[in-house]
Amino acid sequence: MPVIAPMPAARPARVPSQRDGAEPAENAVAAGTTVDHLTETYRAHYRSLLGLAALLLDDTASCEDVVQEAFIRVHSARKRVRDPQKTLAYLRQTVVNLSRSALRRRILGLKLLSKPMPDMASAEEGAYDQLERDSLIKAMKGLQRRQREVLVLRYFADMTEAQVAETLGISIGSVKAYGSRGIAALRIAMEAPA
């Protein structure tokens, strides 16, 4: 939607030059828009400026930030606004420019976001993992029953030695012995060529 600036009032009077014997042109420009006039314009047109920003941006917080930043920037440069009737036009143009900048930053941010790592392993890694799992299961099946029970409860069920002893109804010393013998047998079975 195009931004419609108010029609300018009658042409401002000619600024007298130093040749005319009047005050220099810098002093006439330095007068600019007063803080009171700028504040009144901002208050009177806040909602329309917010609506303008809403047409360009998508969320209310960004729109409010843009409108407030526009006021701050025009306030800082108020001495350059020679015609007080153009204050609203400066505010509108600043809102449009700041909205464009906000959109550019968002687009750039989206482009620069790192691509997330895929959750799934590659087919090759999945195949190796499956082979390891298969060989571990085969090796576990080759253990004695008590060794297999101790290792499963201790390392896969994440139980303490005391909990394993209580569950199997054996002493903690037996849990340690079956565990160490089972791990040694697993090492030998996993290192052996298939």
Q: What is the pLDDT of residues 12-37, one digit of tens each?
A: 444 444 444 444 444 443 456 788 88
Q: What is the pLDDT of residues 114-149, one digit of tens each?
A: 666 666 666 777 777 888 888 888 888 888 989 989
pLDDT at 115: 66
Task: Name the pLDDT band for 175 (thresholds 50, 70, 90).
Answer: very high
Burial of residue 44 (CB within 10 Å: 0-12, 13-18, 19+) is: exposed
CA dist 138 and 132 (Å) reads 10
pLDDT at 108: 82
Burial of residue 153 (CB within 10 Å: 0-12, 13-18, 19+) is: buried
pLDDT at 31: 53
DSSP string, 17-62: PGGGTS--HHHHHHH-S-HHHHHHHHHHHHHHHHHHHHHH-S-HHH
- In 3D, which of 171, 177, 191, 193 has the Cα closest to residue 144? 177
With 70 as the cut, is the pLDDT of residue 40 above it? yes
CA dist 74 and 38 (Å) reads 8
With 80 as the cut, is the pLDDT of residue 9 above it? no
Q: Are 88 and 59 in contact (CB under 8 A)?
A: no
With 60 as the cut, is the pLDDT of residue 61 above it? yes
pLDDT at 28: 40
Q: Are 67 and 22 in contact (CB under 8 A)?
A: no
pLDDT at 120: 65
- In 3D, which of 99, 94, 65 has the Cα closest to residue 81? 94
pTM reported for the whole predicted model: 0.44
pLDDT at 118: 65
For residue 145, give every residue at least 6 positions away whose Cβ sits within 8 Å of its Cβ, in sequence order, or none: none
For residue 161, give every residue at least 6 positions away whose Cβ sits within 8 Å of its Cβ, in sequence order, or none: 154, 172, 175, 176, 179
pLDDT at 182: 92
pLDDT at 74: 87
For residue 9, give every residue at least 6 positions away whose Cβ sits within 8 Å of its Cβ, in sequence order, or none: 83, 85
State the average pLDDT for the chain: 78
